[in-house]
Amino acid sequence: MKAIRKALTLAGGAAILTGCSDKEAQKPNVVIILADDLGYGDLGCYGAIGVQTPNSDSLAANGILCTNAHAVASTSTPSRYALLTGEYPWRKPGTDVAAGNAGMIISPECHTMADMFQSAGYSTCAIGKWHLGLGSVTGEQDWNGKLDQDLSDIGFDHHYIMAATADRVPCVFIEDGRVVDHDPEYPIAVSYKANFEGEPTGAENPELLYNLKPSHGHDMSIVNGISRIGFMKGGGRALWKDEHIADSITVNAVRFIDANADKPFFLYFATNDVHVPRFPAERFRGASTMGLRGDAIAEFDWSVGEIMAALRRNGIEDNTIVILTSDNGPVLDDGYDDKAQELVGEHSPTGHLRGGKYSSFEGGTSVPMIVFWPEGIKEKGKRSDRLFTLVDWYRSLADLLGVELPDGAAPDSQNWKDREYVLEYASNHNLSIRDSAWKYITPNNGHAVIQWGPIIETGNLPENQLYDVVNDRQETTNLAQAHPEQVERLRNALETLSK
């Protein structure tokens, strides 16, 4: 392995990672904190109103705050797929928002980011929301025994995860391929086709929904007084309580850090916050002026603080790269009556960008991204407006560590310094492309606004859309007719790069 280049510097506000020293150094730990549906405007340091996020803000004040970072997709599964494999999700069938009983979407043959870290001698661990499938065959998992395929097959030494999302069954944690606290008296069965006889559902038994009621969808099995997507039976003491999810995953992340502090490690920490159902711990209730969604942001920030405290306590904070970001843009009403829309007040979850989760507009894929590494970042507290896509972390980190990747690994991941065009994938599969000056959205005949619940502009238009993202990042003025040469250039680049 080549020597680690140990510097993260900002060159004229343009750089995020710059290798500049060839001295042998101790390998830095890497922690990716991936929030769920946290919007570009949802943290204090990005302008949030009505909620305080001191721990995230402190990472920014002592690291780099990126203003032009993009998730590959505006929903979770494809976005996470790209981050962990370095491959665009549209190349791989089955990367749409996954059910809780989906089989493994990343195949064991794939050389993942976790494999890359393992090959460099790191301990690797995934904690929190997974949403990339488990077991070799969809619907065939044995939730009462050992899963026949899990994250240990794709480079993670250890995992403590939720199979999908908190709004999808099964509502249990899985640790190293087995349900945590499995209760033999209440064997678990899961189906995304039909209910199990005699089991209540949100649709038929709304009187049992003592914690949260759905606003659209989410009317199937009931766990913890909240109805979900999909049907499940059993679980007993293994069933999670939504108000304890942040505690459970954070405690497990801290445990992993404590146990691995003396060797290099990679921790992928993916929170349930601020995805629906938003049901934070009692101690965060009222922490924001925005009700449960804002309180979930406060809970997210608490998790960040606990992880940073663990790094500090172990004396490894200075040599740990912490990347805090989100899988896609924000949404207010995403299917539960949590009053997110009614209570949002002056706060703009997208930071005034257009669209949101699911959308082709910038609100769909623009995400907060903070990079922290005391030993490697020379100019602390700066902003970087460099165009960045999360698919590039894989190769950028490999390059930083001097790791050679096997042929075919991370095919769409570039060192961030070489990145010219960023591709974005909306939930209806529509593709957009942007460079640092322009954005082009492919024509699409779909509805202009989502029809099935969330109040979000999709970005669909049956004609070309071109926006000047330097002067009009809000995408208010379509310049396609005024600049046909830019449309042509971007459309050609999109066609070549997305193939």
Using CB under 5 A, list all residues that contact Ca ion: 36-37, 76, 327-328
d(CA 193, CA 99): 11
Nearer to Ca ion, 79 or 319 (CB): 79
The CB-of-272 to Ca ion minimum distance in angstroms stands at: 10
> 336 near 278, Cβ under 8 Å?
yes
The CB-of-358 to ligand NG6 minimum distance in angstroms stands at: 8
The CB-of-186 to Ca ion minimum distance in angstroms stands at: 30
Backbone angles phi, psi at 127, to 5 degrees: -135, 140
d(CA 73, CA 207): 37
> 188 near 233, Cβ under 8 Å?
yes
Q: Where are the beta strands (DSSP E) in 148-234?
A: 158-162, 173-175, 178-179, 189-191, 222-223, 226-227, 231-233
Nearer to Ca ion, 153 or 327 (CB): 327
The CB-of-426 to ligand NG6 minimum distance in angstroms stands at: 12
Residue 320's binding partner among ligand NG6, Ca ion, none (Cβ under 5 to 8 angstroms by kind) is: none
Q: Hey, what amino acid is at 178?
A: R
Residue nearest to Ca ion (CB): 76
Residue 167's binding partner among Ca ion, ligand NG6, none (Cβ under 5 to 8 angstroms by kind) is: ligand NG6
The CB-of-35 to Ca ion minimum distance in angstroms stands at: 8
Backbone angles phi, psi at 232, to 5 degrees: -145, 155
Nearer to ligand NG6, 86 or 202 (CB): 202
Residue nearest to ligand NG6 (CB): 217
Residue 276's binding partner among Ca ion, ligand NG6, none (Cβ under 5 to 8 angstroms by kind) is: ligand NG6
Nearer to ligand NG6, 216 or 283 (CB): 216
Nearer to ligand NG6, 158 or 278 (CB): 278
Residues 6+ away with beta carbon under 8 Å from 309: none
Residue 165's binding partner among Ca ion, ligand NG6, none (Cβ under 5 to 8 angstroms by kind) is: ligand NG6
Residue 217's binding partner among Ca ion, ligand NG6, none (Cβ under 5 to 8 angstroms by kind) is: ligand NG6
The CB-of-166 to ligand NG6 minimum distance in angstroms stands at: 9
Nearer to ligand NG6, 76 or 260 (CB): 76
Task: Say how far residue 246 (Cα) sits from the centre of its chain.
Answer: 15
The CB-of-357 to ligand NG6 minimum distance in angstroms stands at: 7
Nearer to Ca ion, 37 or 399 (CB): 37
Residue identified by tokens 């969809």 is: 138
Hey, what are 473's tokens?
């990042």
The CB-of-396 to Ca ion minimum distance in angstroms stands at: 22
Is the torsion defined by CA of 220, 221, 225, 226 positive or negative? Answer: negative
Q: Hey, what amino acid is at 95?
A: T
> 161 near 104, Cβ under 8 Å?
no
d(CA 117, CA 58): 27
Which residues form the interface with ligand NG6 (CB under 6 A)? Answer: 36-37, 75-76, 97, 131, 165, 167, 216-218, 229, 275-276, 328, 334-335, 453
The CB-of-275 to Ca ion minimum distance in angstroms stands at: 6
Helix axes 292-313, 245-260, angle to 10 degrees: 10
> 350 near 70, Cβ under 8 Å?
no
> 405 near 413, Cβ under 8 Å?
no
Bond before 169 cis per omega within 30 degrees:
no
Nearer to ligand NG6, 149 or 165 (CB): 165
Measured between its terminal Cα atoms, the distance across the chain in Å is: 32
Nearer to ligand NG6, 169 or 254 (CB): 169
The CB-of-239 to ligand NG6 minimum distance in angstroms stands at: 19
Nearer to ligand NG6, 270 or 387 (CB): 270
Strands 64-70 and 438-441: unpaired
H helix and E strand count, the chain: 9, 19
d(CA 316, CA 170): 36
